A and B are shown apart, each in its own frame.
Chain A
Amino acid sequence: MKITFVLLIAGVLQSFAVSSYSQSARISLYLKNVTIEEVLNQIESKSDFYFFFNQKLIDVNRRVDVEADNLPIADILNNLFRDSNIEYVVYDRQIILAPKEAAGEIKNSQQHKVTGLVRDASNSEPLIGVNIQIDGTLQGTTTDMNGNYSIVVPGPAAVLTFSFVGFITQKIEVGDRVTIDVNLEPDVKSLDEVVVIGYGVQKKKDLTGSVGIVNVEEMKKVKVSGVGEALQGQVAGVSVQTNGDPGRMADVRIRGVGSFSNVGPLYVIDGLILNDANHLNPSDIESIQILKDASATALYGSQNANEVIIITTMKGQEGPMKIDFSGNFGLQEIGRTIDMMNTEQFLYYNQLSYTNAGREWPGRPEPGEVIPNTDWQKAIFEMGRISDLNLSASGGSANTKYMLGAGYYSQDGVLEGPWYKRYTFRINSEGKRGIITFGENISLIHTDQKLTNLWTSSFTNALSMPPVIPVYDPNEPSGRGGYGYGNGKYETYNTNPVALQQSINDRQAHNRLVGNLYAELEILKGLKYKANFGIDFWLGSRKQMDEAVTMRYASTQIKFNDKLWQNTEERMSLLMEHTLNYNRQFGEHTIEVLAGFTLQDNKFKYMANEGYNQKVDGKWQIDLVGEQFNMWGSEQENRLLSYLGRINYNFRDKYLVQFNIRRDGSSKFGEKNRWGNFPSASFGWRVSNEPFFEAIRGTMNDFKLRISYGVIGDMQALGNYDYIPSVDFSGPYQGLYSFFGIDQIANEGAILTQRANPYLKWETKTTLNVGFDYAFLQNRISGSFEWFNSVSSDLLVRLPISLATGVGIDDVNYYAGSSLWTNYGEMENKGIEFSIAWRDKKGEVNYSIGANLTSLQNKVLKLGTSEGYREGDYGQVNRTQEGRSVSDFYLIKMNGIFQNWDEVFAYTATLNDGTVALIQPDAHPGDVRYEDFNHDGKIDLAGDRQWVGSPIPKFEFGFNASADYKGFDFTMFWTGRYGNKIFNGQRQTLEAMDAPNNMPADLKPWTAENPSTTTPRPLFGPNDNVLFQSDRWLEDGSFLTLKNLQFGYNLSTALVTKMKFLSGFRIFISGQNLVTITKYKGYNPELTGNGVFEQGCDWGQYPPVRTYMVGFQMTL
């Protein structure tokens, strides 16, 4: 499980065990009749040694013959002084010659004290505060302001450990030496860390674009189901909303909404360009980079304005085969349940709601009647289980490396019914001979799942279903299923959530092959040609078996037919890339040039069938449907041809320049505007390498300024053939056929039903990014800051066109279809991102803490509707208006509760014509008072909605801390949001107070005796209290959540090695979503699945759930 990085460090380690030098350093000498002094001079010139001696005590004029053919220096010296009273003592590279009686003294007096200077190997600067410890003891010291140290050691066998944050720890055996100078190598992970950028790698320190690097080592400690979840809170600018739905990915959004179409970021996995990373087993991940600005994303940037996530998977390392096996097991629970009224409480308010409406209460229990008291949350929620097993083998020789991995993951979630299983298999290998490298990364996945039925939210129904209805109703008259549902006595519009999840068996399975094959040829030194071929083949099927049971859907419908719906889907994406890369250093100039072209082809096929009434009970096959109902099928294809180029120039590691250009042609556009050019440039200035910086380099170790500017494109919103005016053979819902003849038979029809815009072109996003990276206090503190401003323009929107042009095709929603894709929209996103990390070591405790913060402002500049605004899809809750941020809440404001008739009658408005109007003439004490925003004397949606907040947080943050001590490790990770609003649609149902829904137990509806200022009176039937989408259900969505807490223990090396075959063993226990601090009243303030125009609405989506896990990782 150890993360390895590709090391590009050249050169040899500077320090090695000197004590062995005198024994191992060999020289040849052929000298006749020379003085000892001459011999010593020769040795000095042929080795690193130099001699010290007192000429008064040592006779160096004695003449000798020396004949040494590649002999150790020690042997030469022994021979030289064999018959004299001179003894020699080696200290480091110094050889001290002394009379025999004096030499012993030197040894004895010096053996216990060692002094030296510790330097940074990369720049020879002294290091302050380096920890020096004698192994096996508690004795230690640190270097002083000049990097010097002094320590008394017990004897030559003592081993000193030099450790310093940001540097590789060294152990040195003291031996004979009294002076030990050490050059510590900087830890490449932090400085020479290499990151994967588009079509290549770059040293992290040379980056000029905005690239967020995920700490994969930390990430992988957290057991997650998918990549999206893993990214949460890790990198500034990345907003992730998770959910507990088995098999469902988290919503990932980078730097806000980049276009009006709801698509996530682009994933580049081992060079393969994909729209999702759902197939990826998180255990296989080696590194994740998030490309955030135009310069960083430039080489992929024509495919997604929602930024790019680059992932590489694990590769084999040189060495014997390493086998990793891990097993993780977890339990999941909803985490929070909402205390709802029991039957007694419910009946009280149910009766009151009828009484208040002046109606007879149908719910009055008969004498002796036993009314159920169902806890619906108990009925639907279960303890979910997770199993996650991974096995991998990797290794290789200098020229061949391989990695094989297999994984199994299963999860059944907290909702009874659904489950998900994933089987993954991976082979990554690479072979090299001379100038040729071949390799491949292939992954196979099979998933099988029973989908959570989202037809109506079971999370809402688990709350709103009245307790008086039984889960199972043995007396249910039709006998089909026997699930409880509402009746005349206790009317409800809720759907029995248990029935829903159980009676609809919605199975989905897919098989997917994702892989690439590449060949690289090093034509000349520094010039490489690479060909890369990728494939993403996806075969999916879905089968919805919908049993006829008596289950009331949200309206009044009761299912009387069983229904089978089955589809198959096939996707095939092919990628071919050819790139030439030239990388060369000329003195102080380093240059990298990349040129290439790529071809992409994506195909999609779909077929579905639907039928009713299976002929054989319990058998679900299209062959057996009693009534064929419908079938569909279509094929899609799109292609992309791109040329790309990049120049990287680096002068003295101080001035860094990068230019990118990408030219793309997409089959989604017509000939007129098919091609788009997307250039970008970025500059970096490593201020800390300037001479004037020297003065503070001791504290401020690294400082780099970056600026980038560029344009990227997008066309995701567009269908594959939207620019082609095409003939429609199916037409609107009712079809294009007409009936003629004596027998009045159908005659098929076909015609152009829609218009097309042949001038469609690329959406563009122009981003200016300014940032700096910093490190100080010996790299203990490091981090970066970014400011960015991006403007997305020519956004593809469907501009409505007049029905009088003949294009209205949909008879149900008559304006659907009567619109024309047009490059019209414009949006701005700007923000700041800040990250900071602290790493240090105290004694044997290594610890680090890190935090990141993102603040984003969004503004819609041009929207493309005739009204200048657009409502969200969920009724009149959100509204997107030019000049405001996307999807702001636009609601009627609640202004308290009428406490008495006086207040009702006092609530008036004076109209323009002088008349005084009662604003809520139908109101009654206990009803909600709404703000008459436009002062027209009445409350209506048309005039009284107002801006009440945004679903976009003012800032988001992540905080993590980790520490290890001996074999123990600890990780903790928090994430949060501040300043966003959530429309709690669940509460809108629960607190409708109109009788058919259950209510939270702590709700105290208004009564004359116990007046409330927040909750109106219960009132049967539709009434003003629930009529309006008001801010009564708008809540503060800020939260802070403990995403992960983990304790692990690594069996000590000594213990492990005793077990021969084992080289590492770790066990851990962890918890996810353990604590959520929020004022939000719903299940969880993290919401997935909302579209661009209806963000921040809680309609009972699957919330993130609490997970407890234990696991082990062993390495053989």
Chain B
Amino acid sequence: MGSSTCFHCGDPSGSSALFYDDKAFCCQGCKTVYEIFSENDLTCYYDLQSAPGITPKDVQGKYDFLGQQKIIDKLVEFDDAKSQIATLFIPQIHCSSCIWILENLKKLNSQISSSQVDFGKKTVRIQFNSQSYSLKEAVILLSSIGYEPYISLEDFSTGKSHVNRSLIYKLAIAGFAFGNVMFLSFPEYFEVGEYWLEEYKHFFRWLMFAFSLPVVFYSSQDYFTSAYKGLRAKTLNIDVPIALGIIVLFLRSTVDIMFDYGSGFFDSLTGLLFFLLLGKFFQQRTYSFLSFERDYKSYFPIAITKILKNGGEEPIQVYDIKKGDRLLIRNEELIPVDGILIKGKARIDYSFVTGESDAVSKKSGDKLFAGGKQSSGSIEMEALKSVEQSYLTQLWSNDVFNKVKEDSFTTLTNLISKRFTIIVLSIAFISTAFWLFVDSSKALNVFTSVLIIACPCAIALAAPFTLGNILRIFGRHKFYLKNATVIEQLAAIDTIIFDKTGTITSNKESTATYEGNALSLSEEVLLKNTLRGSNHPLSRTLYALLDENDIITLDEFEEHVGQGIQGFHQQDSMKIGSANFVGKTKTFAVLNTSVHISANNTYKGKFTFYNSYRSGLSQLFNNLKKQYDLAILSGDNEGEMENLKKLLPARTKLLFNQKPDDKLEYIKHHQTEGAKVLMIGDGLNDAGALAQSNVGIALSENVNVFSPACDAILDAEKLNNLSDFMKLSKSAIKIVKWSFVLSFMYNVVGVSFAVTGRLEPVVAAILMPLSSISIVVFTTIATNWTSRKLKKKHSSILPSI
């Protein structure tokens, strides 16, 4: 790393670099953070990781609402007279330096007594002296060093979620019992009739019985309940035969040891539960730093500044906003409710809510919709509706948000288990009937044996281990699934619908083309330097697009708000802005935004801005078109139509000016025609569509910040892998089916023992784990082998075991 990158954040600092302690910084912000650290000799921060920092944002006044007791009460999780504890979500946490600095906050301010990071959850739990310090100050301190917490309406409404660990307990108990029972049952397998063994086997057996009790009555609960539910709903789900097997195993074994028929099947019983629960445990891969259940709440601010009649300002919770309230929206702040612009130049970015790519300018009197983000200076507005009634939030009253998808979807396993159960039961009864005639003494033995050996442990394991493993592989490639069933649903997809803005276009950069007479070198220099002075979003974009020029100091610079900017250097002058500002009279309307230029009052030409599409997009579409119907639903205007036509395969449907509920309806319509729809979107405007679709994937530039409710979150940079992901989920289902075949073969062997009444405990004890383990091995190898293509571009956040 040369001096060209920022010592703090590692961004290219370029020619405009600032220097301090002979280290380069890209901006004032980074420099300040470094100064803070070096003053408190916390520069170890930079030793653990090179350039670990984040550029701080200006939060002037942003957190005034944290002054309000009512809000504080919601945010702190512990509060006695002296101290408060609050857990803050900090998306920026990404390396050991972050952990180190955040756990040394006390060195920055002695009022903070302790701070503990949870890297997985990306939270810091700070504890401070509430008499002399406040949450607000803490948050501002964090922001000042680049770790601005993400506080949203969600934190306000939802209470702290309670961690449910019952599965771990159940698994632990099963595993523990399994180990001990195995230990106790081994002797009788090795050597029968040995003098001492005869003496102790009863002791051993009853110990085994004791160990199996918690397993049967605690660890297997879920299976009994689920089986019961299934039967109530007249469906034979996989848990029915399992529950049956468990009961029979337990009763048969107990009877065996009671009347000294044999050592019982306790090892099989405990082992069965252990493996089943292991599968369950393995299948639930949760991403503690992600949430799939988000709605507008986690996007909206918790509070906003209200302007009182007397002109004073006070923070007010967005829920308390009433019609007619006057609100102050600062730069980069969100408009919480629909309202009317009163004062100030509004330039509002709706891309996230409506999908319009460009920020729109509003004059006072214009209507403002909730969800827009103000992007130039602060404005005043008057509320027309409360939060709940605002246009955007209305979307959530739609009932798609209330129905759970899984219910409508029966998994492969349950599909199989139906037939399986029937077959097993009939075999059991037939063979029993047979033995009743041949040798009635054996009949009961046979009946139980069949149910024991046919207990579909392996079948139940096939899906969890395959899908669980795929889930992890996806996760490693930044494709985060809500749960394993999503994979099965992905495999069934036949239609893929994309949102445009922010999904196939990238929010970050856009491209511009210049048309008109070429600019001389001096003019280019002047242009670049004039833009340099302006903070207008378009100017910034254009500035970034133009290639480096040497910096000159302008003699004069004027910003004509709403029209454009003007720069003077020696005798040259340059106007940049709207058509009539630069003095171009007749303009034919274009949908794409453009910036006009005139040098020394002679019109030169215009830069027209286009979205820039994510690289490899057309390639992706061409891969997909073979198996899937493709469509694009955009909230934007047709401006990009031509571009897209060029870019994408011919058969791709393109629809523009789609309102959120239009998208939802469109999907519903396709589904009624029997289509299985995958929706890929990013914004709140897609939320309805994502919920309606069979699988909704939210695309996100930064998975830690906001993404609407969905079944899966995909990191934007991995969009190109989509086709691979789809392929993989298809082959996952194949693997599951093959492992079914495998486990059936085991069952055949086992049953053949059982029906002939020759099922020794040792046979069961060998067959059961053998089948389970071989299934696990098979699925693991198979999944990893099929996913080797992805593996090449391996990337992982945390070391995974």
A, B: real partners: no
Q: Which A residues are within 8 Å of any B CB, using their own CB?
A: none
Q: Which B residues are within 8 Å of any A CB, using their own CB?
A: none
